[in-house]
Amino acid sequence: MTRSVIDPITRIEGHLRVEMEVTNGKVSDAWVSGGCFRGMELVVQDRTPEDAAQIVQRICGVCPISHAHASSIATERAYGITISNNARIIRNLLEGAQFLHSHILWLYNLAALDYVNPLNALTADIADTYALAEAAGTSANSDFAQLKDRLKNFADNGQLSIFSGNWFDAEDGTAFKFPPELDLICTAHYLEALQMQAKASQISGLLGGKMPHIMTLIPGGTAFVPTEQKLDDLKALVDELHAWVTTTVIPDTLALAQYYPEALEFGKGCGRYIAWGVFERPSMEYADRYLPMAVLDENLNVSDVDEHLITEYMGHSWYKGDDTYNSPYFVTDPDFTSYDVNDRYTWVKCPAYDGKPYEAGGLSRVLAAYKRNVPEIVDMVDDMLKALGIPGQIAPIQSTLGRTAVRQIETVYIANLMQQWVDELIEAVKSGDSEYFREPQGITGSGTGLWEAPRGALYHSEEIKDGKITGYQIIIPSTWNLAPLNADGVHGPMEQGLIGVPVGDIEKPINALRTVHSFDPCTACAVHITEPATGKSFETVTGPWGVK
């Protein structure tokens, strides 16, 4: 039996362990273990919904706005509030800024180093680098010669700073395949992405009062009131982000496809998708959102969502009992025992829709919009399929590389919408519309906020009596994707996605890492691999940026 423990997998958020068994060079079984218990449902008990919208943001520093949004929607549905048009636009802009920040962060600073090797860029020809960037249609805003010198200084000093501790030396013939010039371009974009994230967070801070945990998104609308100066600043930031995103993210992901086509062949997951929808249109209808709500079965047939078909099973998670609870429910009763893949092995509950595991995330949202015939999404997906050499074929993008690439369609779509929303807000202010907040007519009721975080379907449900919360439940996106075995012994989406992944280097299973990162899990990871055929044993301990 071969055993490899990587603790933690870096470049994700939180704590996660993935245990895999490898047989004949492929993953034959997998178990995903989330190592975080937050219990935020217990924290907001007996508090006001207004408090909850602030507190639940502390679940995550990457997607706090989505939690505030879902919580506020739950309250608004409990109280019968429909927010004003100005509040709708401002909340869309807040959410859009967070999505852009998260998508840029994930592609370049979390996932890219599974494919991009900055060390290889040391042999790049500078003239050829500029020519390649021009031919690919991607941005060439950086001084490539200066960057090459900086990388050389890192290497000469025996350290790679933020690029250290990755698997650039994996003993796998397919591990890193970019030519030096493309590695230099993508390394430049890694650094540019850090600046673009900051621009997105500036938008969130401008509209939200601060970031990462904003103050202005509240039940009933927004506490932000735009001024002429703030609108000017907002437009400038949105335009700058739009210019970078629309010239960078899709060309770079198409470059991945050119050199790593095999990543379209593994990491499929469960093949079913959920999207609660995000970004409100004036109708405020779930199915009419800019990215609409949909449930897609294994044949990608679309249906509307029935909240009461959402369940969570506890039998393999560190909670009391082995019951299955139907939505909405308000049970959070932690009970850690021990790590045992044959029994309980994770803090992540096991959500299901109509009794089956479903994948959430960018791929789910884009597929939902594609099947709902959102024109801009349909055009961009069809264009990407042509560029990938698979026109009209949806199946291959249900994969590790497809999940990575398709999410960038959403990035460009949101960047386009951000410009539209800024113009709408400017026109509304010019027209004299000054309504941003609406009071509740009553303070008792129940409601569910079905929304999306960048990583996928987000659920907040609450019961309120006389202005105080008597019950609260949250299902975050990574709970869907990291779900353990269900009561029937069926693996969750990431576990299914890992099964069948090729492993060329048992000590550095780069394709498994690529697959984990493609789901963008909101946890930090350890990966544990077994290969019964060899009986080898191996352990690697990693620091904050990788192997020490």
The verdict on whether 13 is a catalytic residue reads: yes
**pLDDT at position 528:** 36
Query: Of 478, 491, 507, 518, which is the active-site residue?
Result: 478
Q: Which of 13, 21, 463, 507 is catalytic?
A: 13
Q: What's the predicted TM-score (pTM) here?
A: 0.92
**Residue whose entry in the numeric block shows the structure tokens 């301990």:** 541
**Of 68, 95, 75, residue with least CA distance to 289:** 95
The reply to whether 455 belongs to the active site is yes
Mark whether 186 is an active-site residue. Answer: no
- The answer to whether the CB of 27 falls within 8 A of the CB of 543 is no
Residue 306 has pLDDT above 90, yes or no: yes
Q: For 42-81, write each residue's pLDDT tens digit.
A: 889 999 999 999 999 988 878 899 999 999 999 999 999 9
Which two tokens mark 471? 């019950």
Give tens-digit pLDDT for 513-533: 999 999 998 763 223 344 456
What are the tens digits of pLDDT across the range 401-410? 999 999 999 9
State the chain's mean pLDDT as an integer: 90
Could you confirm whether 439 is annotated as catalytic?
no
Q: Give a three-class secondary structure readout of 49-104.
A: HHHHHHHHHHHCCCCHHHHHHHHHHHHHHHHCCCCCHHHHHHHHHHHHHHHHHHHH
Which candidate, 450, 499, 267, places its Cα nearest to that of 363?
267
Residue 506 — very low, low, confident or very high, per pLDDT cuts 50/70/90?
confident
pLDDT digits (tens, 9 = 90+) for 164-195: 778 787 776 668 999 999 999 999 999 999 99
What are residue 35's DSSP bridge partners? none
How far apart (Å, rounded) are the C-alpha atoms in residues 296 and 368? 7
Active site residue 36: no
Question: DSSP secondary structure string, 479-520?
Answer: HHHT----TTS---HHHHHHTT-B-S-TTS-HHHHHHHHHT-
60 is catalytic: yes
317 versus 36: the higher-pLDDT residue is: 317
Q: How far apart (Å, rounded) are the C-alpha atoms in residues 313 and 325?
A: 7
Considering the candidates 455, 460, 491, 517, report the single residue annotated as catalytic. Answer: 455
Which residue, 518, 417, 410, 499, is CA-closest to 112?
518
67 in catalytic set = yes
Confidence category of residue 534, pLDDT binned at 50, 70, 90: low
pLDDT digits (tens, 9 = 90+) for 189-237: 999 999 999 999 999 999 999 998 999 999 999 999 999 999 999 999 9
Tokens of 464: 């309120």
Question: How confident is the model over 328-372, as pLDDT tens digits?
Answer: 876 778 899 999 999 999 988 999 999 999 999 999 999 999 999
Res 353: pLDDT: 97
**Residue 17 pLDDT:** 79
Three-class DSSP category at 7:
strand
Split at pLDDT 50, 70, 90, the class of 41 is confident
What are 540's strand-pairing partners?
A: 6
Catalytic residue among 60, 186, 270, 350: 60
